[in-house]
A and B are shown apart, each in its own frame.
Chain A
Amino acid sequence: MSESDASMLRPLAGDAPRSPGEARLRKAWAKPQGIAMLSAVNNTIVGRYIIATGFTFFILGGILALLMRAQLIVPENDLIDFELFNQLFTMHGTTMMFLFAVPIMLGFAVYLMPQMLGARDLPFPRMSSYGFWCYFIGGVLVFGSLFIGAAPDGGWFMYPPLTSLTYSPGINTDIWLLGLSFVEIASLVAATELIVGILKTRAPGLSINRMPIFAWAVLVMASMIVIAFPPLLVADIMLELERAFGWSFFDVERGGDPLLWQHLFWFFGHPEVYIIFIPAAGVVSMVVATFARRPLFGYTWVVAAMIGTGVISFALWVHHMFATGMPRMSLSFFSAASMAVAVPAGIQVFSWLATLLGGRPVLKTPLLFVYGFLFTFVLGGLTGVMVALVPFDWQVHDTYFVVAHFHYVLFGGMVFPLFAGLYYWMPLASGRLLSERLGRWVFWLMFLGFQITFLPMHLTGLLGMPRRVYTFPAGMGWDTLNLISTVGAFILAAGVLVFIVDLFAHFRRGERVIHNPWEAGTLDWLPVAPFQPWTTFSVPLVHGRYPLWDQRELVAEVDKGGHFLPDAPVGRRETLVTDMITAEPQQVLRIPSSSWIPLSAAIATSVFFVAAIAKEYAWSLIAAAVTLAIFILWAWSNARIPEADAVDAGKGMSLPAYVTGIHSHSWAGLSIGLVVDFAAFASLLFTYFYLWTAWPDSWPTEPFTTGWFPLVIGILILAASSYAMAWASRANRRDDGRGYWIGILAVFALGALFMAFVIPVFARSGLDPTRHSFDSTVWAIIGYHLLHMGVGLVLATYTMARTLAGHLTSRHNTDLNNTALFWHYTVGIGIVSLLVLFLVPF
């Protein structure tokens, strides 16, 4: 809708609030100004920060690619030497995957999800802010290493032994391992809160089967991040332990195995591809439905396809390792699964085609990019089936054929949809449209540039040119093909350049948008200009998948404050919590506002990582303590008991302001956090079993401690502490203060006793982590559990302090519930650790 015909929505409205309720809302959601913008936590601001940072890294990563293409334009070129070239391809891959693709998709999700679901914000806004700052600082650190010539240079997948201390003695590898671990915190944090946000903060009536496809896509992506990222974190830390402290995980001479790295890396790395692709496919589903002017064909089929893709993609990791000499039957499994994943991808493609065929497509720039995506992605998918065949893969392994394949999948599958999304949603962020005329230039330059660059690479690869070589001899048949690829790369870059010019120009000259310029049907297009940070003046009651198409009066009703929460009576930010499936309203959730705490915590965390890279471990420890202190302050200041039990939610509905137990959003968030934690723990156990099967002969054949006695005592203490925790929770619910204190003090005492008992047992066991991978792995597993015990003791202390300060009562017991959940989990992994270490493989 353009400026002229939007006046019916707001006659003479201008920018002034139209009711005292709206004035209070504006005050509660006011954007911080000036330098205080950095303390903003609202999703519409943090989402923009993430997208802007991600796009900047896209440009930087692209410049690295252009440098490489410039070097490869003619044979035996000497523009760039091999050392810099190694850094360039490593940083190109690393930047594009870790600093651009995943974060920018999460940025889209953070920015759009609340609007699409009719929520005011995500449930943990300060966590999004913390995540963003971790990403920003970590990204600048990792990319900045290029300018001091210390950038990582071991390839984006950092295989040892090339990246072990012997062959990579510099800090380049440490920067990658620690810097990216830091960046990954951001993804995990964002994933956690997106899952909770999608499942619990949808508009009333927006039941799970009515969610926009993009919300499903983000739900699947976030769930995948939660499982896929921890193995990489564990691998990063293990390689760093090996490099910095001489432990052994990947060193063959001391019972390690470099293939272990490949397993852990690709258990992350393959789902990673779909972590990027699935949300991009979600964008495509949104754009296709809007521009075809009809609901998406086969909604349930597309949802099932995304879930299927998500799960199957975890069974593909070995197809990156076909050339490593694994048992042939294992290879066949992974080959079969790799082909199976083409089925759900195909279903989605047919759904988009059917929607377009059944509708009346309006060919605007976003749809043009979708066409570009369909063409390119299908080609990439087909070469994907080719390389899923083991014998074919052996022929093209490590050649430019693979480079061509994954650029077709990643650039075709993610970058084209991303641009479709940028053109599509830009009016929501800036209030203006990007230029249609320039948009066509951008598309055709990018599309043709892409094909000219990467189509010839299939041939270059089949003719035998290996990946990652800084130059090549003349006369191999590769000269012309490389020349064409380089020309194409610069055409592609020209397209991106036109986009950047248009982007900056449109802030001043773009056509203004008042409301829903594409006549879309989903809630993200509900707001009417001027767009506010709370996304919608009142939270709508929804009856279908495309509320803006189905409920003609909805926009006007919502804009008049006729639905839920059209006010901020106590001046606090609020959003509705609804049932995970039916979206029936359950709670009015208070959410925190702007704060410097997230930025401070991110800075403290960055000091921890930077000091570790510099091997200044004392500083690392200090920074860790400061970070922990900030987290405690954060938790303490956030969790307040609301002044009234029930709140008026609008439309005559009264809802509780405080919910505890499994229905509380913090319980949900912690549960997902524990899934992350468990994925890391499982990776450690995998390491233990993997190394045992890798070197069955060199592992010890008898227990390293004196028999079953420590095992039984350890398990008994842990079980008793769990019982005490349950006791404390029950007593607190019954308002039995004495019972509660006995229980919680017993938890503390038993936890401390366990540590006092176990540490000497292992210290006396004679295990030396620098001797053999067995010793290293045992120490890693025990260390992991003891770290949890330490955190558990801090949480128990925190809970006691909350009780003493009057913030924890029999009814307002969220702190205790969360501590209990963490404690029971810690006891669980402790018992599993002890059983594994004492009983297997003896």
Chain B
Amino acid sequence: MSPQTEMPPHRRLLLLVLPVLVWFAYFLLTYAVIAVGCAFSIRRELFGFGIVQWIAAVSTIVTFAIIAVIGIQAFRRWREAHNAMKWRETTAAPDIDRLRFFALGTLLLSLLSLIATVWVGLPILIVPPCA
């Protein structure tokens, strides 16, 4: 049996929803940065882009990377469980089945969060922040 099946229940549930939570934290943070930046008219520029846009762009890339790592790990766990389902005895199935469920769940939510990150991140390049 894989050591991953031993994870405590709270962490197991948290890992399932982690990708969307990371995305949500990013969303709130970027929104707050823009709100504060625009409210206090912070206009300092760096290489032709406003500082607010820089923060938003960097946090988009960091968020994308974090979610991608979570997603890739989930993919590996999913493939492992998927292969195990093929070869193992049926008696081990409930654990493996559960493992596959959590891995696939995290993987799918990572994909969704990646899409949402790109989607939210695009306006940073296109739209002037405080117009």
Contacts and interface: CB of A to CB of B under 8 A. Distances in A.
| Interface secondary structure of B, over-half rule | helix
Given A330-B35, A332-B127, A312 B108 contact: no
B17 A307 contact: yes
A33 interface: no
B97 A209 contact: yes
A209 B101 contact: yes
B116 A332 contact: no
Given A315-B27, A327-B130, A329-B127, A581 B105 contact: no
Interface stretch (A296-304, A355-363, A653-661, A720-728): A296-304
Nearest to B40: A696
A311 to B, nearest CB: 4
Interface in A409-425: none
A333 B31 CA distance: 8
Contacts of B104: 300, 304
B73 to A, nearest CB: 16
Given A312-B20, A581-B98, A300 B119 contact: no
Contacts of B94: 207
Interface string B95-128: 0011001101100110011011001101110111
Contacts of B119: 336-337, 339-340
Nearest to A300: B104
B124 A300 contact: no
Contacts of B13: 580-581
Given A327-B34, A693-B39, A311 B20 contact: yes
Contact of A329 (B9, B105, B124): B124
A737 interface: no
Nearest to B30: A333
A328 B131 contact: yes
B102 A696 contact: no
B65 interface: no
Contact of A307 (B39, B101, B109): B109
A301 B107 CA distance: 10
B75 interface: no
Nearest to A304: B108
Contacts of A311: 17, 20-21, 23-24
Interface residues of A, number: 35
Interface in A300-354: 300-301, 303-305, 307-308, 311-312, 314-315, 327-330, 332-333, 336-337, 339-340, 343-344
A35 to B, nearest CB: 43
Contacts of A693: 35-36, 39-40
Q: Chain A interface mostly helix, strand, loop or mixed?
A: helix
Q: How large is the interface on B (under 10, 10 to 19, 20 to 34, 35 or more residues)?
A: 35 or more
A338 B12 CA distance: 29
A685 B97 CA distance: 43
A7 interface: no
Interface in B12-62: 12-13, 16-17, 20-21, 23-24, 27-28, 30-32, 34-36, 38-40, 56
Contact of A344 (B101, B112, B123): B112
A218 B40 CA distance: 42
A308 B67 CA distance: 14
B115 A343 contact: yes
Contact of B31 (A207, A303, A330): A330
B71 to A, nearest CB: 12
Given A207-B98, A337-B120, A328 B109 contact: no
A579 B123 CA distance: 44
Contacts of B97: 209
A694 interface: yes
Interface of A: 207-209, 299-301, 303-305, 307-308, 311-312, 314-315, 327-330, 332-333, 336-337, 339-340, 343-344, 579-582, 689, 693-694, 696
25 contacts: A207-B94, A209-B98, A304-B104, A304-B112, A307-B16, A307-B17, A308-B109, A311-B21, A311-B23, A312-B116, A315-B28, A328-B128, A328-B129, A329-B34, A329-B56, A329-B124, A329-B127, A333-B120, A336-B119, A340-B119, A343-B115, A580-B10, A581-B13, A693-B39, A696-B39
